[in-house]
Each structure stands twice: as C-alpha cells, then as structure tokens.
Amino acid sequence: MASDSAAPVRVVGGWASPFVTRVCVALRLKGVAYEFLQEELGKKSQLLLASNPVHKMMPVLLHGGRPVCESLVIVQYVDEAFPGAGPRILPADPYDRAVHRFWAEYADAKLPTALRTLRRMVDGDRAEAAEQVAAALAQLEEAFVDCSKGRPFFAGVDIGFLDIALGSYIGWFRAAERITAQTILDETRTPRLAAWAARFCDHEAVRGVMPDAGRLVKFGEALRAALAANAQRPDVRASRRDLVGEPVA
C-alpha cells in the first residue's frame, strides 16, 4: 500500500538519544510536521512496546498509525514517503547511496562503543580511549573529503543521509569533551570534520533539536543513576539500550 504523505506523523523517543535526533532532523529537513512523544527515563510506554515489539527500543516513527523502527531505516523511509517535500536525503546515484550507507553503518559500529569507553576510563587511561575515537573520526574525515567533493556537507550543498547519521552524535561528542577534558572534534587532526560539525549544527533543520552538551552531561548522570538503581532490583533487567534506545553513545 502506498504511503499517505498527509497522514499524521509522530515520533516516539527521548530527546537525548542521537538516534532520535536523526529522525527529527530528517523530518525537519523535509518540512514534515510531527508530534514528539517523549519517553520517560527508565520506563517504556505501552505505545513504544506495541510499536516495536521486536527490539522494544526507541526511536519509532508512527506515520498514519503505522510504525517504522530503527533510526537509519526511518530516515530512509522519510525520504521515500515524502518525495515532494524538502531536499532529497539519500543521494540520487546508486553508487553514492551505497557509499553513504556504508559510512553511516561504520559510524554506528564505531562511535557509540568508543565514546562509552572514553567516558568510563579513569584519568590515566583516557588517552587510549580517546585515540580509538580519533581513529574512527580520521576515517570519517577521509570519507568527508571523498563524499563532499569540496562542498560544505557530505551530501554536497545541503545536509543529507550521512550528514544526519554522523551529525546526530555531535551533542554527545561535546558532552564527552566536558566529562573527560579530551578534545574529540580536533581542529588539528580532523579540521574538515570539525568545520563540517559547526556548519551542521548551524543548519536550520538541526538547531532546534540538537541537545545541549551541558544538559546531556546532566542526563548522563541521571542515566547512570537509573542503571545503578535497576541493578539493585533482581526483577528488573534494564540496559543502556533499554533506557535510551539503540546503542547510544
């Protein structure tokens, strides 16, 4: 059945999740109005459980009441479901689409674990963890050079799929920098990526939904407290993914 682009759109998720952020950016880029349904930290709404019965995690997009799950899948769905609204998100060329999907998957495979490791390290061990993050970003700096072809964004003159996938982590990059006193988006090691990050955050589709670093630091403290409290309850088995959705940084 064809998608009804006029049907109501709702996003089920949490403001601090980078995976939820990327869904909201995609919708804003397309100019699609949506209702945001905030999940309560440490709990899962019946709507979330019913909408994503397989993984039981945010984000979930509800379009005309029909659920779409997993953030990268949702971003691609938004591009296809609203073809006449806003700029194209995925590249038009099949090869370019494959390349951008590859690097988006790379970012999701490398960055959450590396950032989590960095934040958990004691002061004397943070250099090694920071190097893991830097190595991943160095690869993405090279990808930016290849994909952007000298233009402002991975997608060219405007943000697109890979920009949204990687850009959703910037709030957590900045929060981790405050927590660890380690520079992540290093203007010396990855100058093009650092400049891209500033442009991305200044984009009108991003400014209203990119979480503030200070607020994320406080959220991280609340998250750790919630996980510690659940660890004391044998009847509860909550993980970071359960509380925030997808493998959050």
Q: What is the pLDDT of residue 124?
A: 53
Angle at 83 between CA 82 and CA 85, to 5 degrees: 70
Domain-embedded: residue 247: no
Encode burial over 126-164: b for 16+ CB neighbours within 10 A, e otherwise.
beebbebbbebbeebbebbeebbeeebbbbbebbbbbbb
Q: What is the pLDDT of residue 3?
A: 52
Q: Which CATH number belongs to the domain containing residue 136 in this structure?
A: 1.20.1050.10
Tens-place pLDDT, residues 19-78: 999 999 999 999 999 999 999 987 899 999 999 999 999 999 999 999 999 999 999 999
Residues 101 and 200 in one domain: yes
Nearest to 29, CA basis, from 133, 164, 154, 153: 164
Distances (CA, A) of 184 to 35, 67, 118, 200: 33, 35, 10, 16
- pLDDT (average), residues 227-243: 57
Residues 75 and 120 in one domain: no
Rounded to two decimals, the pTM is 0.89
Tens-place pLDDT, residues 65-98: 999 999 999 999 999 999 989 999 999 999 999 9
Which DSSP state fits 67?
Answer: E
Residues 222 and 160 in one domain: no
Domain-embedded: residue 145: yes
Domain-embedded: residue 3: no
Tens-place pLDDT, residues 112-165: 888 877 776 555 566 777 788 889 999 999 999 999 999 999 999 999 999 999
Residues 175 and 125 in one domain: yes
Q: What is the pLDDT of residue 231?
A: 64
Q: What is the pLDDT of residue 206?
A: 98
Domain membership of residue 121 as a residue range = 94-207
**How buried is residue 233: exposed, middle or buried, by Cβ count under 10 Å (0-12/13-18/19+)?**
exposed
Phi, psi of 173 (to 5 degrees): -55, -50
Tens-place pLDDT, residues 179-204: 888 888 989 999 999 999 999 999 99
